[in-house]
Amino acid sequence: MLKEKPVNKTNPAAHVTPAEYGRVYIETFGCQMNVSDSQVAVSVLKKKGLEVTDNIGEADVILVNTCSIRENAEKRVWGRLQVFAGEKKRRPGVIVGVIGCMAERLKSQLLDNSATVDIVAGPDAYRKLPELIEEASSGQQAINVLLSREETYADIEPVRSGKNNVTAFVSIMRGCNNFCSYCVVPFTRGRERSRAPSTILGEVRTLIENGYKEVTLLGQNVNSYRWTDSQGDEVMDFPELIEKVALLSPDLRVRFSTSHPKDISDKLLYTIAAHKNICKHIHLPVQSGSSRILKLMNRAYTRESYMERINAVKTIIPGCTVTTDIIAGFCSETEKDHQQTISLIKEAGFDFAFMFKYSERPGTPAGDKLTDDVAEEVKTRRLNEIIELQNSLSAESKKNDLGKVYKVLAESFSKKSENELFGRTSHNKSAVFPKQNYQPGDYVNVKITGHTSATLIGCPEKTLSPVL
């Protein structure tokens, strides 16, 4: 804690610097990009003298990095703000800030909650956090939700959080140009802009030097990564970038997220197939198996073109796992549309899926122009049918892994026992196995002997060649 607590709202004339606020506590909700953004925010604050704490009770500044992709994500944040309000009552002078997508989308509502929220900062305002803390210290609400066409935070080295020094996220681009009708991302994160490849490669080199064994290249749609020179000529696309990252070290595993089906090219698939250290897993959100619904969603592909891409993945990268996102009960979805989704899931044979009921987001084209007319009980029934089917496919996938040997990157100790290690295969399947003489960061050949609903169970094998 601070040696002497700075006065803020109890004395509007007071004025302190960010460093005088000592310690910052940050909670992160939502996607991997939000995790990466929190690491950027921490880096900015540490350079101004603040320390990061995992103990909310000793924090002078409490930040929550938020997600607006679904209503439940926002409800969780409103619930946390009630907890933060209690913290402010116990310790007057604590500053609370809401940052990220929810700050961008709901700035007015957050500012109306003046008893709790002191700072509202959008995803492009993290460089300004020290100034916003300084402004809030004088008793004023501080806000910056300006979206940028240039900001990529390329020059900021993220402060990696957590105890895992094995895997890391590397943001390669920000924003989105797709404007799917149900999605808030283009409105909360702005338009696409790609980061200079030299800064990406430099960040990955530093991670390798610090012992990291895996990086995940992040973007709302990594397939549309494009770096152009000052004349506007394209210099590098995503397949070329991921190849350059993979060539930095044969011991570095490379993943990426997320792909858009309309943009995943044969060039990228052949690049993945050509490099053993580019992981053989692609997350390819389909959302619906009905071309009619896909058109209403503004997804820019049909059921047929999506399946053509799935077949290309299976042909060019044999054994590659494919995971997906699915929305049940989108506007005007009929039973026929739902059954088309069911049949696509069977045809594609996904290894795993994130499955949700449609949640209308105000301010999106679907929220403004379409009617959320599928009854809640129908949404629930359709979602449960999708979940039941996908669970059976996931179980079959794990059953097929029995007896195989996978090269697993050990990431951490198992949650249940320090005598076991947890890691993932190249195919992004989780595995748990006896520690023996291995440590996090080691590659281990693991023979699969069993599985739970979510995890492969195995034993290290020193004599067998792995299935990469």
**CA–CA separation, 261 vs 180, rounded Å?**
13
Task: pLDDT tens for the chain, 468 residues: list them.
Answer: 333 334 444 444 344 555 566 899 999 998 899 999 999 999 999 999 999 999 999 999 999 999 988 888 899 999 999 999 999 999 989 999 999 999 999 999 999 988 899 999 999 999 999 999 999 998 899 999 999 989 999 999 999 866 679 999 999 999 999 999 999 999 999 999 999 999 999 999 999 999 999 999 999 999 999 998 777 666 899 999 999 999 999 999 999 999 999 999 999 999 999 999 999 999 999 999 999 999 999 999 999 999 999 999 999 999 999 999 999 999 999 999 999 999 999 999 999 999 999 999 999 999 999 999 999 999 999 999 999 999 999 999 999 999 999 999 999 999 889 899 999 999 999 999 999 999 999 999 999 999 998 899 999 998 777 776
Q: What DSSP assignment string belongs to 200-228?
A: HHHHHHHHHHTT--EEEEE-TTGGG-EEE
CATH number for the domain spanning 350: value is 3.30.750.200
* Same-domain status, 327 and 342: yes
> CB under 8 Å to 315, separation ≥6 — which residues?
none
| Domain termination residue (choose one: 279, 295, 323) | 279
Tokens matching residue 409: 């990157």
* Same-domain status, 275 and 306: no
E strand residue ranges, 11-165:
23-28, 51-52, 61-66, 95-100, 119-121, 142-144
CATH number for the domain spanning 231: value is 3.30.750.210
Nearest to 246 by CA among 224, 220, 221, 268: 268
* Same-domain status, 174 and 106: no
| Domain termination residue (choose one: 109, 144, 179) | 144
Q: Tell me, yes or no, whether 4 lies in a domain.
A: no
Number of structural domains the chain divides into: 4
Tokens matching residue 134: 């300084």
Beta-ladder partners of 39: none
User: Does an H or E element contain 327, and which?
Assistant: strand 321-328
* Same-domain status, 382 and 422: no
* Same-domain status, 137 and 253: no
Q: Tell me, yes or no, whether 215 lies in a domain.
A: yes
> CB under 8 Å to 417, separation ≥6 — which residues?
none
Q: Tell me, yes or no, whether 157 lies in a domain.
A: no
Handedness of CA 278, 282, 283, 284 (dihedral sign): positive
Tokens matching residue 11: 């004395």
pLDDT for the residue numbered 463: 73
Domain, as residue range, for 115: 18-144
User: Does residue 407 contact residue 448 with C-beta atoms inside 8 Å?
Assistant: no
* Same-domain status, 375 and 258: no
Query: What is the 3 state secondary structure string of 134-186?
Result: HHHCCCCCEEECCCCCCCCCCCCCCCCCCCCCCEEEEECEECCCCCCCCCCHH
> CB under 8 Å to 275, separation ≥6 — which residues?
243, 246, 247, 254
**CA–CA separation, 427 vs 407, rounded Å?**
10
3 state DSSP class of 66:
strand
* Same-domain status, 22 and 124: yes
